[in-house]
Amino acid sequence: MPLLRGAVTGEWSAYGVDTARSKAELLQRWDHSTEALNTLWSQLPAERFHETLTAFGMYTDKLTGLLLYVIDNEVHHRGQGYAYLRALGVAPPPFWERG
């Protein structure tokens, strides 16, 4: 969400990691982020995708490249989560079920 917010508003404020303390809190944050992403996405003009931006004062690329990096990063961390769950003997949910 921070990258999309910056692309829409031009404001690249620093963001930190704040760990959820429970499954319920994590799911609440997920719902909040989804709502915010849907709102921001609808405000993003199509011509911005080809503009070169510097995100957070240090990552320079076209917006399409920055967005692909965010998607790749999410896929990587989702895979880590599945590996950790399996290592703990917990069967993760099927990744193809989006509920």
Tell me, yes or no, whether 30 lies in a domain: yes
**Cα–chain center distance at 27:** 14
Domain of residue 57 covers 2-62
**69: closest CA among 19, 4, 9, 17?**
4
Average pLDDT over residues 8-33: 87
Tell me, yes or no, whether 21 lies in a domain: yes
pLDDT in tens, 40-96: 999 999 999 999 999 999 999 999 999 999 999 989 998 999 999 999 999 988 877
Tell me, yes or no, whether 17 lies in a domain: yes
Tell me, yes or no, whether 95 lies in a domain: no
The backbone torsions φ and ψ at residue 7, rounded to the nearest 5 degrees and listed phi first, read -65, -35
pLDDT of residue 17: 78
